[in-house]
A and B are shown apart, each in its own frame.
Chain A
């Protein structure tokens, strides 16, 4: 037997060994956990999860409204339209969300004219700061996704729209945007999942979202593994349910494409 056929077999053996060891380790770890603590604080974690969902829903919805015009500007051939949009997208995609949150929450709070402005009643609240940072962040990512989708709309369809004399606005409304949304649905779904997970960072600015709640509970119980595991399961359920729902939406939106086949 030559070594070229031996290697896959060895690889398989190693793989089974590692998988077995890992499984044993995890099962062993799970048997040593205190499940009573998880149940005792499920109420608190549930309330935290509600805030998580609220933060994500609002920032994704508002982010969407910002992303559409930004993407159109970004796709514009005129540099003075596309450049500011590009700078915005680049800045927010190029820096960590955690830094953005800190800048909005702690950074802006020490600038005097911000504190004297009409914005302060909002920026005073951690809730609004988190929403602002999340919204601007997700809008930047979403805009980039939309831009890609807008540019991926088949040229033939745009030419057809032009040929039947559609105005630019009408073409945008009836052809480009609806088509682009369908194209970008999978990527957009991913972005929302990233946002669900990213919202855990709200806990760093005093908000009691799911992670914040978990950390506060741990400050009492000193059982990080148990509580974080419970929180992890809840996050997992959130993303899992969302993925399923989103798959349905995607399926419906693209029904006309699959029906033809």
Chain B
């Protein structure tokens, strides 16, 4: 149906790279998001300020710019920091790592809001009950809050993941051979842009379908034990 002029292998590798990027950024972003939410809800003023600054700035700048600034700007700062630590050599981020950090930062900023809402949605009575049992704040967070936060935050996080999946295409701008760049190369070599970009679109669609399926499964799993109580 589609003639990929021998670039099919490159497209497949690109798709794999896209999945890797998305999962890597998801891991970074989840950690950042959870930290951001805890910081924003903290009693500590500095923590709140950092949390607010992080979400406002990152959400206000185009993702493409975040990617480019991290890729080009990181080496200078990293090398200097390494110098302070006594390593007199050049340190840099590969496009892959820069991409994961940039996408993770963006995901984390939006996830902060999702987590914050989810943490607030945990009934206060449960936390009071935990305190009454003599649980410390960390244990309460780990045993009572966190398990429920996942369930409440899941739909929001799933939406963000779908956005993230598509945002991986921006990493093509710093020369990483992900799906879009692979199609770009194929399109330029074969002069057949229409075919390559259509195939790319279909692969992204397929990934979205799989992600949606996974989201449905996860949501069902996270609600086990809850559904009956609601009915």
Contacts and interface: CB of A to CB of B under 8 A. Distances in A.
Direct chain A–B contact by Cβ atoms under 8 Å: yes
A211 interface: yes
B209 to A, nearest CB: 8
Interface stretch (B72-80, B118-126, B216-224): B72-80
Contacts of B169: 96, 98-99
B57 to A, nearest CB: 7
Interface string B47-83: 1001000001101111111001100110011001100
Contacts of B68: 224, 228
B46 A28 contact: no
A197 interface: yes
The dominant DSSP class at the A interface is helix
Given A7-B138, A99-B197, A103-B201, A200 B192 contact: no
Contact of A99 (B39, B139, B204): B204
Interface string A75-100: 00000000000000011011111111
Contacts of A25: 77, 80-81
A55 B120 CA distance: 38
Contacts of A42: none
Contact of B62 (A19, A28, A198, A224): A198
A28 B201 contact: no
B133 to A, nearest CB: 12
Interface in B179-231: 180, 184, 187, 191-194, 197-198, 200-201, 204-205, 208-209
B138 A8 contact: yes
A12 B44 contact: yes
A193 B55 CA distance: 14
Given A96-B167, A99-B197, A224-B68, A110 B77 contact: no
Interface in A147-165: none
A97 B172 CA distance: 13
A12 B46 CA distance: 11
Nearest to A24: B81
B175 interface: no
Interface stretch (A43-51, A64-72, A173-181, A235-243): A235-243
Interface string A102-129: 1100111111000000000000000000
Interface of A: 4-5, 7-8, 12, 15-16, 19, 21, 25-26, 28-29, 32, 90-91, 93-100, 102-103, 106-111, 193, 196-198, 200-201, 211, 224-225, 228-229, 231-232, 235-236, 239-240
7 contacts: A5-B137, A102-B184, A197-B62, A211-B64, A224-B73, A229-B69, A232-B62
Interface of B: 35, 39, 44, 46-47, 50, 56-57, 59-65, 68-69, 72-73, 76-77, 80-81, 135-139, 162, 166-167, 169-170, 172, 180, 184, 187, 191-194, 197-198, 200-201, 204-205, 208-209
